[in-house]
Amino acid sequence: MLEVNDLRKYFPIQKGIFQRTVGYVKAVDGISFDVQRGETLGLVGESGCGKTTAGRCLLRLIPPTSGSFLFGEEEVDLAKLNHREMRPYRRRIQMIFQDPHASLNPRMTVGDIVGEPMRVNQTAKGTALQDRIVELLESVGLRSQDMRRYPHAFSGGQRQRIGIARALALQPELIVADEPVSALDVSVQAQILNLLAELREKFQLSYIFIAHDLSVVEHISDRVAVMYLGKIVEISDAETLYQSPKHPYTEALISAVPLPDPRAQRKREHIRLEGDVPDSSQPPTGCYFHPAVPLRNRYMQTGNP
Q: What is the pLDDT of residues 79-129, one digit of tens each?
A: 999 888 998 898 999 999 988 888 999 999 999 999 999 999 888 888 999
d(CA 82, CA 89): 11
State residue 95's pLDDT score.
93
State residue 165's pLDDT score.
94
d(CA 14, CA 6): 25
Residues of the chain with CATH 3.40.50.300: 2-92+172-302
**Residue 281 or 202, more confident:** 202
Range ranked top by mean pLDDT from 236-240, 261-265, 288-292, 300-304 = 236-240
Percent of the chain exceeding pLDDT 90 equals 49
d(CA 111, CA 163): 12
State residue 257's pLDDT score.
76
State residue 303's pLDDT score.
42
pLDDT mean over 251-256: 82
Topology of 2-92+172-302 in CATH? Rossmann fold (3.40.50)
Per the CB < 8 A criterion, the answer to whether 199 and 171 are in contact is no
